[in-house]
Structure 1
Amino acid sequence: MTGRSVRSWWLAALVLLVTGAAVVLRLGRGELGEAGIAVLAGAVGVAVCSPLVFPRRGAAPEAAPDPVTVYYRPGCGYCLRLRASLGSRARRARWVDIWADPGAAAYVRSVNGGDAIVPTVVLDGVPHTNPAPATVRAALERRP
């Protein structure tokens, strides 16, 4: 793994570490049911905080133009909200992790006054900072 891809997983690793500590503590007290619940909650937390919940990763739009490009970072609540609200339509967009792609992070900062605000969504070449999910859904539905 490169340093860039490791950065995308740090939050998931932290959730895994905290979950492990909680499970060990519960097992040490003989609380098997609570330990099981902690394992399930931790698994959900790791999945949500990892880059795995985002479909089709790709390069910045300069390299491969798409009608809808979503710049995100793992663990971002707004990005997760957008991803969840798009459902299966999310596969139609190009998803770019700004922690794994320094060029993408620079692009996001360039269109957000120097801030790496995500989600930044490029709809037909026009960047939108944290747009309403309905706006992105409509753009994806227009896509062939």
Structure 2
Amino acid sequence: MSDVTIYWRPGCGFCARLEDTISAVRERATWRNIWEDDEAAAFVRSVNNGNEVVPTVVVDGQAHTNPDPGLVLAALADS
């Protein structure tokens, strides 16, 4: 089973594309809004050279910046 956390923010087109792609299994992921969660925003900056690039997705402890939605879908489908 894959552990998936998705860091996102409202108004992000890449986040919306990811959410649309994984809609059937979206509840299997943990979603963290970086505009409402200071710890989440700090994590995203820590893995993106100080930038708040979203979506940042952590799959089994490995961070992926703006990953291919298929990668996230595959990880969640295995959950």
Q: Provide the TM-score with structure 2 as the length reference.
A: 0.96
State the identity %: 54
Q: Distance in 1 between matches of 2:43 and 2:51?
A: 10
- Find 1:83's aligned residue among 19, 30, 36: 19
What SS is found at the alignment partner of 2:15?
Answer: helix
Unpaired segments of 5 or more residues in structure 1? 1-65
Is residue 94 of structure 1 aligned with residue 30 of structure 2? yes
How far is the alpha carbon of 1:88 from its aligned partner?
Answer: 1.7
TM-score by structure 1 length? 0.53
The yes-or-no answer on 1:110 pairing with 2:41 is: no
Q: Compare CA radii of gyration and give the structure with the larger one.
A: 1
Higher strand share: 2
Deviations 1:14-67 (A, max 9, x none): xxxxxxxxxxxxxxxxxxxxxxxxxxxxxxxxxxxxxxxxxxxxxxxxxxxx70
Work out the CA distance in 2 between the residues paired with 1:81 and 1:87. Answer: 10
Distance, in Å, in 2 between the alignment partners of 1:138 and 1:84 is 14
Give the equivalent residue in structure 2 for 1:73.
9
SS state at 2:22 partner: helix
Q: Select the structure that is richer in helix.
A: 1
Looking at both structures, which has the greater relative contact order when contacts are Cα pairs under 8 Å and sequence separation is at least 6? 2
Q: What displacement does 1:142 show? A: 1.1
Q: 1:47 matched to which residue of 2?
A: none
Give the CA deviation at 1:110: 0.1
1:137 matched to 2:69? The reply is no
Q: How many residues align?
A: 78
Shift of 1:81: 0.3
CA RMSD in angstroms comes to 1.0
Summarize deviations over 1:70-118 as a string: whole Å, max 9, x none: 0000110000000001122111100000000001000000000000000
Gaps of 5+ in 2: none
